[in-house]
Amino acid sequence: MGKTWERFVAWMGSSRRAKPVFILCGLLVVALFLFTAIILFNSMIGQRWQFALGDTAGPEWATTAFSAALKESATVQPGERRADLGETGGGRGERKIIYNAGLTLETRDPDGVYAFVMEYIKEQNGYVASSRRWVDRDERLHIQMQLRLPAPALEAALAAIGGLGKVVEESLTGSDVTEEYYDLEARLNNKKRQEERYLEILQAAKTVDEVLKVERELERIRGDIESMEGRFRYLQDQTELATLNLLCREPSRLSTGVFRPGEFFREIGEVFLKSLRLIVLAVTGVLPWLVIGGLVVFAVLAGRKRRGQQ
């Protein structure tokens, strides 16, 4: 190690023309290593932030427990009272949950699925809230439907409709509105009793001034009742009937063996862009090292040529 260092010091003290080239190459190598280290450090920091944000979603057992609660509450029939709610809910009644499900289905016969769903929803005492059908640029038929059906029948509906084709995406969410539902029901009953008392006072009023004051209060109370009744009817409808957003579409023509020029050329374009991106990344990563290697080779050849002339 000591001899190597002495040779390096002697070389630095010499007057060779190739020395600046070697120094430049060394500086470029150091700069590349520093640049790579900075990128790796930023990548590690980003992963740590990502892991930290992912932990805020809750542990795995919490997600599993939530899914189990959704399945358990879905088995409650209208009018039934869950035994566990008798302890935690103050004996108010069954749990009120708004269910929203989504299902994306691929099938070669979307019209057949549409006909089946129409009959199935009627059998389940549900209805079709909206429907839409269109053909995309690759001539694939899409049928979109929003279905309303009794909440206890949602799980069976997902299984029945999902068996008609390939399930591309399936989702299920539940929003617990039990507290709001029963609090609103209690406040609504109180307002109605208050209205009855004011009606009794109105019957006993003797002067015009008293009548006008009572009528103003009645008008205010009836406005509150109408607002609460609208919200209460909405909660009743949303909890008794679940919402299922269904999208049924034909599969890709390439996957079914049917040639479609539009989709074929689009796939070619996507592959070309991906390959171009890889080429740019490869050139960006290799070019600095090619420059360094070229400078080193140039310096070595120049040194040999000069020694040959001497």
Q: Please list, in sequence order, all residues whose beta carbon lies within 8 angstroms of the beta carbon of residue 192, skipping any fewer than 6 positions away.
A: 225
Alpha carbon separation from 106 to 109, 162, 255 (Å, rounded): 9, 9, 12
Q: Please list, in sequence order, all residues whose beta carbon lies within 8 angstroms of the beta carbon of residue 140, skipping any fewer than 6 positions away.
A: 249, 250, 251, 252, 253
**Which CATH number applies to 72-177+243-249: 1.10.150, 2.60.40, 3.30.2000, 3.30.70?**
3.30.70
Per-residue tens of pLDDT for the chain, all 310 residues: 556 656 655 555 555 555 555 566 666 666 666 666 565 556 555 444 443 333 433 333 333 433 444 444 433 333 333 333 333 333 456 899 999 999 999 999 999 999 999 999 999 999 999 999 999 887 899 999 999 999 999 999 999 999 999 999 999 999 999 999 999 999 999 999 999 999 999 888 889 998 999 999 999 999 999 999 999 999 999 999 999 999 999 997 655 555 556 666 677 777 777 777 777 777 777 777 777 777 777 766 666 666 666 6
Cβ contact 247:140 at 8 Å: no
Instruction: Give residue limits of the domains in the chain.
Output: 72-177+243-249, 180-236, 262-297
Please state, in angstroms and rounded to a whole number, the distance separating the CA atoms of residues 290 and 268: 32
Tell me which amino acid residue 196 is.
E
pTM, rounded to two decimals:
0.53
Alpha carbon separation from 115 to 64, 169, 228 (Å, rounded): 35, 21, 39
- Beta bridge mates, 148: 127, 243
- Beta bridge mates, 135: 141
Please state, in angstroms and rounded to a whole number, the distance separating the CA atoms of residues 28 and 292: 7
How remote is the C-alpha of 95 from its chain's centroid?
Answer: 27
Phi, psi (degrees; rounded to nearest 5) at 149: -150, 160
